[in-house]
Chain A
Amino acid sequence: AQSVSQHNHHVILSEAASLELGCNYSYGGTVNLFWYVQYPGQHLQLLLKYFSGDPLVKGIKGFEAEFIKSKFSFNLRKPSVQWSDTAEYFCAVNTNAGKSTFGDGTTLTVKP
């Protein structure tokens, strides 16, 4: 069965610090990969996605993620975080079977 592991449960950073959130998945076949964000009091929304092509994908608000197939990883990065990035971040894997599996989420707190 597919699974998604997010290594950091809670990350605390100061503004302007760089961010990297880890995501690893286990599935032997073709996958589509996503990062979703949930701001306080709001619904889940897509940050970025990878289906195929360039393994470095750019999303909204300056976020990017790199798909490393050999490591089964899809880490999320941002060079300089802002207070408004405080949210919960979810990595998700969607296989061709049409089923999405989410990681447990990482809570990011950015101190002003």
Chain B
Amino acid sequence: KAGVTQTPRYLIKTRGQQVTLSCSPISGHRSVSWYQQTPGQGLQFLFEYFSETQRNKGNFPGRFSGRQFSNSRSEMNVSTLELGDSALYLCASSVDGMNTEAFFGQGTRLTVV
């Protein structure tokens, strides 16, 4: 079956702009989580969506937001980009987000210049 698909794979944006990243989970998975991966901070949890509702949120500023659609696809939006937002953004899907393993996408590499 198809894995987790993230688009686009690479993005270059300018400071102050906003960006939207997309994640298509594995069919049947209702939980989608987003993570930011940087060399210095490792994998940081952004938020998790389940059945179109944000169920958990990490410690990121309000510039980071997301949503989930009825088909479980999810988008993440970052407004007013800062240089420090440059990172690999990973999406993971699982059946329920709690007692089942997560499958990760390849990630979107965001570079802010």
SS class of chain A's interface: helix, strand, loop or mixed? strand
Give Cα A36 to B101, complex, Å. Answer: 10
Contact of A43 among B48, B56, B105 (CB under 8 A): B105
Number of A interface residues in the complex (CB < 8 A): 22
Give Cα A54 to B111, complex, Å. Answer: 44
SS class of chain B's interface: helix, strand, loop or mixed? strand
In the complex where A32-B98, A98-B50, A100-B33 touch, is A45 in contact with B104 (Cβ < 8 A)? yes
Greatest chain A CB density within 10 A among B35, B98, B105 is at B98
Interface size bucket, B side? 20 to 34
Interface residues of B in 48-98 (CB under 8 A from A): 48, 50, 55-56, 58, 90, 92, 96-98
Q: Mark A residues whose CB is within 8 Å of B.
A: 32, 34, 36, 43-46, 49, 51, 90, 92, 94, 96-105
